[in-house]
């Protein structure tokens, strides 16, 4: 969920109980240093990754097409 750009940190908190800081620590440990830097640059200030920056019209935690059923 953390890697996906459209899933906000608030959705991760509600599903797994991890704060944004804990997710960042987890990603730092799990990714190669260069991959972590790219991810961090991508999600920093991103409107879709931070609930407070999102449009109030968006109430879902992820994009409806993100988890397609087969």
Give the model confidence (pLDDT) of 52-67 as tens digits.
665 666 555 556 666 5
| Global pTM value | 0.67
> Which pLDDT score, from 0 to 100, does residue 51 have?
61
Residue ranges of the domains in the chain? Answer: 9-52
Q: Which residues have C-beta within 8 Å of that of residue 42, sequence separation ≥ 6?
A: 5
> Which pLDDT score, from 0 to 100, does residue 45 have?
67
Which tens digit of pLDDT belongs to each residue from 22-52? 999 999 999 999 999 999 988 886 666 666 6
Indicate the DSSP class of residue 52: G
């Amino acid at each position: 969920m953390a890697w996906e750009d459209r899933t906000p940190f608030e959705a991760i908190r509600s599903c797994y109980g991890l704060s944004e800081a804990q997710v960042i620590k987890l990603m730092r440990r799990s990714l190669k240093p260069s991959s972590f830097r790219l991810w961090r640059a991508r999600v920093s200030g991103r409107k879709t990754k931070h609930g407070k920056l999102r449009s109030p019209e968006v109430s879902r935690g992820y994009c409806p097409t993100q988890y397609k059923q087969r």
